[in-house]
Structure 1
Amino acid sequence: MNQFLYKLRPLRPEMLSQGPTPQEASAVEAHFAYLSRLKDEGKVAMAGRTLTEDEHTFGIVIVLAETQEEALKLMEFDPAVSEGVMGAELFPFRVALWGEDPR
């Protein structure tokens, strides 16, 4: 299985500092449910975001897929992307080191 990383950026960064619109909130809720389901299916290794609330904020998702085309479909079907709340870029990726969960 190959690793890919997709980087997400909110198309309206103010949704983080001023609050989301109802459409944005719905898309983000569906985004979290989608990634949770993919994690349970073994297709998401990790997902998270920066805690900044400005134009520099971003999230990342590391997906496991056989091909770049499969990874691209996983990214494009992410509700935050497909509903136009976040822009996304896909990169071939390889985790070099992975520590234990610090929580």
Structure 2
Amino acid sequence: MSNLPEFVYIIRPIRSGFIEEVLPEEMEVMGQHFEYLKDLLEKGTLLLAGPCLDRTMGITVFKAESIEEARAIMENDPAVKLGVMSAELHEYRAALFAGQK
């Protein structure tokens, strides 16, 4: 799987008050989002993921066979699918990273 193209999707809250206070139903969806990402990690698809500490956005860097598969992975993220977050997909290539030789 290491030779597959890399992609990144950026998620941002849809509701304007999300940054100040996460509602219980949003927290539940974000828990599903976290489990979804853990599953991608276990499958070897996910490279890294995490939120900005100010909660304005999060990023997911992963590998997929094609842009179509990458879009499906992004759109099936519960945070996106259930309308808590908007998402945008980009092709990506890590150029510099720790441990690189």
With the length of structure 2 as denominator, give the TM-score of the two structures.
Answer: 0.89
Deviating above 4 A after TM superposition, structure 1's stretches of 4 or more consecutive aligned residues are none
Aligned counterparts, 1:1-103, within 5 A: 1-18=4-21, 20-53=22-55, 57-99=56-98
SS of residue in 2 equivalent to 1:38: helix
Q: Write the letter of the residue equivalent to 1:25.
A: M
The whole-number CA distance in structure 2 between the counterparts of 1:52 and 1:14 is 13
**Count of aligned positions:** 96
Query: Which residue identity does 1:72 align to in structure 2?
Result: R
Shift of 1:65: 0.3
State the distance in 1 between where 2:30 and 2:9 align: 16
Aligned to 1:17, the other structure's residue is in SS state coil
State the identity %.
41
Task: Describe the superposition over 1:32-77 as per-residue Cα deviations: whole angstroms up to 9, x where unpaired.
Answer: 0000010110111000121124xxx111101100100000000000
Name the Cα RMSD after superposition.
1.2
Unaligned runs of 5+ in 1: none
* Unmatched runs of 5 consecutive residues or more in structure 2: none
